[in-house]
Chains A and B, each alone.
Chain A
């Protein structure tokens, strides 16, 4: 993040969402009496560190939300005849 010369709005670190989702699933599993082994958001079950289906869902939701917000802000700027918020920063 430090070395990229990018506006903050153009960078997304979804780690906190993954942590929240992990905690939600972990607690839900414990309540059902099935304490999850590892993180259900990754393919831990098969010894792989890529996203599981649930992890993909979290990633997609997070990235989609940011994209929609960026496009909304972009539209708002265009309506007022100003520059893109990604260049100038809302």
Chain B
């Protein structure tokens, strides 16, 4: 006999809530949310409205970033950073090569001929890192690879010249500093290229722009830097280091030899390796390091917002300073002014202010020549014909070429500011002032 089984039915009981209770609960939730939102708004208002609030907010932000960076970031050791740069640069060059090939293939035959003349065709073009994190396409007839830290260097004993009016279509920043040889006129035929006659430059036997170095000169200095010091679109005698040489010769009444180690596209890492490459052989009495905003990242971000890789720049500049200190060479860091900061709103708190803050350098060894540029600009002021353009005469930058490097007049201002700082410093450590009886030229020439 089957015993009936009584199964218990599971009934879901749902307690009904009275409407007025439901309203109370909903109001309570709304009230709690409102309190949370209101508290947040009040905190934000306090942080934004009061200086100490803004400071607190910035401090918390900086602390949080630093904590997360240390806790979650990749290998922060120097070896790890160097390895990551090496990989980045190698990858960027690999990515750039097909772009150059495509660019060459798509160019018309006349332009291909020019690229072959310049040594910038896919087979011969020099693809190297520069300008902090760029990959540059350079003429292999003007530059050669350097695997000892500088990435690339200028070939010694070579005359070269700038070509203008060539749109950069390569997908890679391409610098048309090309050999100044008999084939140039033929090479540019059929292209839009214009030879900039004033930009003719020669390298000495050390592969640097300027006169032959004289390691036996009574007073010697090395200038490290980038295109500002190499002298962009200006003549050999108009570069800032050559103007400095003449200034020091006049003031110190002695023969002076300046090694212009400035090469376009260089950044602090390459400044350091330039110093180690030439320092021992040249035995300078002083070193000048010329820096610019793009040494620390995108120049607009660095100069306009203070956003850049300051730590990387600081690392290499400190290495350079330490190298000089160990040898007793005064090392003067000079910030090249940003033209926009001179003519419009000044943002010197970002650049060079941030750099001055992070460098462990006494004040006399850091120079911002901005005020000298402002004064020189005002002295040269003569209104141009068009009100929306700057006056060309007396301009301190290459405005007529739509370029923001120093003109010959700008080089002169730079050299005077740097020389004025160096003279008393050298007077203390260098005993040879006015004692040059060699009969060599002591330079009464002026830069312009």
A residues lining the B interface (CB < 8 Å)? 1-3, 5-9, 11-17, 19-20, 22-24, 26-27, 30, 62, 65-66, 69-70, 72-73, 76-77, 80, 82-83, 85, 88-90
Contact between chains at A14 and B387 (CB < 8 Å)? no
Bound Cα distance from A15 to B368, whole angstroms:
9
A43, chain B: closest CB distance, angstroms:
19
Contact between chains at B421 and A69 (CB < 8 Å)? no
Contact between chains at A8 and B374 (CB < 8 Å)? yes
B202, chain A: closest CB distance, angstroms:
33
Q: Which B residues touch A14, using CB under 8 A?
A: 371
Q: Which B residues touch A72, using CB under 8 A?
A: 378-379, 381
Bound Cα distance from A83 to B253, whole angstroms:
45
Q: Which of B195-248 contact A (CB under 8 A)?
A: none
The DSSP consensus for interface residues of chain A is helix
Bound Cα distance from A83 to B388, whole angstroms:
12
When A2-B349, A23-B364 are in contact, do A90 and B383 touch as well, CB less than 8 Å?
Answer: yes
Q: Which of B338-368 contact A (CB under 8 A)?
A: 341-350, 353, 363-364, 367-368
Q: Which of B58-108 contact A (CB under 8 A)?
A: none
Q: Which A residues touch B344, using CB under 8 A?
A: 7-8, 89
* Highest count of chain A CB atoms <10 Å: which of B341, B363, B390: B363
One of B346, B350, B391 near A90 (C-beta < 8 A):
B391
One of A6, A23, A62, A66 near B346 (C-beta < 8 A):
A6
Bound Cα distance from A77 to B382, whole angstroms:
8
Contact between chains at A2 and B421 (CB < 8 Å)? no
Bound Cα distance from A20 to B370, whole angstroms:
14
Contact between chains at B364 and A22 (CB < 8 Å)? yes
Task: Pick 13 A–B contacts, CB within 8 A, sort by A.
Answer: A2-B353, A6-B345, A7-B346, A19-B364, A20-B420, A66-B371, A77-B383, A83-B387, A85-B381, A88-B387, A89-B344, A90-B381, A90-B390
